Amino acid sequence: MPVYEYECQSDGTVIELIRPMSQADAPVQDPDGKGRIFRRRQSTFSTGKAGPASTSLPFAGGCCPCGKNKGACGSSN
């Protein structure tokens, strides 16, 4: 099931809920019981290489499964 983010319109509190897609826009009860109203917000996330900061990730760059450049680890891959 997908994870959805909901934001409180009055104080900006954000919560995440795992729900079926059919319930994505259904009303959300305040988890703290304060009567706040939460609305689904557009989630943002990133995958893959996004720039210089991600070059330290093991999957960024290289052609070898170990993450190094081809031949750097002695593998024939």
Taking the C-alpha atoms of residue 71 and residue 20, their distance in angstroms, rounded to an integer, is 45
Q: Is residue 38 part of a domain?
A: yes
Q: Is residue 8 part of a domain?
A: yes
Residue 54 binned pLDDT confidence (cut-offs 50, 70, 90):
very low
Q: Is residue 52 part of a domain?
A: no
Bridge partners, 40 (sequence order): 6
**Do residues 35 and 27 touch, judged by C-beta distance below 8 A?**
no
Domain span including residue 10: 3-42
Indicate the number of domains in the chain.
1
pLDDT at 73: 72
Q: Is residue 37 part of a domain?
A: yes
Q: Is residue 10 part of a domain?
A: yes
pTM (two decimals): 0.55
4-50 tens-digit pLDDT: 999 998 999 999 999 999 999 999 999 999 999 999 998 776 666 65
